[in-house]
Amino acid sequence: MRAIEVWKKDICMNEPSGKLTNSRAVAAEIIAEWLDTGEFTDHLMESVQADRAFVMEVVSGVARWKRTLEWIIKRCAKRRPDKEVIPFLLVGLYQVFMMDKVEEYAAVNETVKAVKSAGLMHAVAFTNAIFRRAVREKAGIMEELGRQPPVVRLSHPDVLVDRWKKQFGQEKTLRLLEWNNSRPEVVIRPNKTKVVLADFIRTLKEAAIEVLPHPFAPEQFLVVPRGINVPDIPGYQQGHFTVQDPSTLVSVRLLDPRPGEFVLDACAAPGGKTSAIAENMNGKGRIVAMDIQDDRLGTLKENLRRLEVKSVTVLKGDAASELDLKKACDGRLFDRILLDVPCTNTGVLRRRSDARWRFSVKGLTGLAVLQGKMLSNASGFLKPGGILVYSTCSLEPEEGEGLIAGWLTEHPGFTKAGSEMLFPPETQTDGAYACAISRNG
């Protein structure tokens, strides 16, 4: 049994004071595994139950501020820390420098106890000394940090910042870095087939939940106050709303699905766009919602069940596979196709903080090849006069307008019908690119 499983078991059996210590140990173990494997932090968090909110805050925070925290470690340590100690240093220093309303010495003491619980007795004095120095010299460290280059003080990789400076310029890039490090809100879209917006807002107010209209689409999306558990919001089980970023509105708007049409949502999970398509079609017509991953298919099915979306057929399939697309169309061509492709996620680094450290030019190139293949395959199942919307949550032109321009040059039977790109600090949404392509008829 891995150490992380032992610690999780201990958490369930200990008293509250013990939970705090073990929670820091669990967070450190998850961070250690993340640093070692590069696996998504949310996947590593899936089995954590006790003190989940705290562990999630620390893990996602460390992933976001990794480069800054590493600079602080170097600033405070007299020697290079051993590999197994670094996750605990990241956990402790994140609490001291980045968490609000934290009793610094209590956080330090609990993290040192976590080091002991991991059996790293040789590192106790070392980690304790770094933490104590960090607390003692915090003001000076923060002042010195403020003079560091943006990649350090705002914790981003050079490769992304260099690219964005060329694409957006210095000022917009700094705004983007700051946006990526801010805390994302929970945004919901009321289900207009079940509730009237004004009545829904009134119901939430009666439950002491004061929502605000989202500035990007105030008639369709609401911002929920921090600290509200989504399943506790009135109407959750009844499917009165879905958790969804307003950026998803763009691709559905460009798709413009009509009642009675045959529509493919080719990469559908978790289902927010699928349900929006169904709403636009007034439950008339047929939607095929396809996704390749079993766990995401489960989420898709559950969301559609909760929202009571009836006009959707859910299939397991790969949009890069002509065979799977052929099965999905069942001998017919689609009127509309939404192709929300896998990407580098550079538009959603606010929500997926660890994705910034996975970015590479090589990975970008490989994804662009896959995206082009998916677009070529899907376009073959679009009827003449039909609309295909290519969308991505990336800010990189190789995955957006650059890819589309090259693809259209090679496919003269298709025409660009409109596009939109969202720059997060300006729209207050996730970053996204969407382009509508019509098949010449």
Name the helix (H) or strand (E) containing 202. helix 197-206
Buried (b) or exposed (e) across 298-325, using 16+ Cβ within 10 A?
eebbebbebbebebbebbebbbbeeebb
Sheet holding 241-243, edge to edge: 212-213, 222-224, 186-190, 241-243
134 near 93, Cβ under 8 Å?
yes
Q: Which long-range contacts (CB under 8 A, 24 or more apart) does 367-371 make?
A: 367/342, 367/343, 367/399, 368/398, 368/399, 368/403, 370/320, 370/341, 370/342, 371/341, 371/342, 371/343, 371/399, 371/403
Angle at 345 between CA 308 and CA 173, to 5 degrees: 130
Which residue in 76, 267, 393, 435 is the catalytic one? 393
Does the annotation count 76 as an active-site position? no
Angle at 320 between CA 312 and CA 248, to 5 degrees: 50
DSSP-derived pairing of the beta strands 432-439 and 186-190: unpaired
Please choose, from the candidates 330, 328, 319, 362, the residue with its C-alpha nearest in 3D space to the C-alpha of residue 344: 362
Q: Is the peptide bond before 270 cis (omega within 30 degrees of 0)?
A: yes
Please state, in angstroms and rounded to a whole number, the distance separating the CA atoms of residues 26 and 7. Answer: 6
* Active site residues per annotation: 393
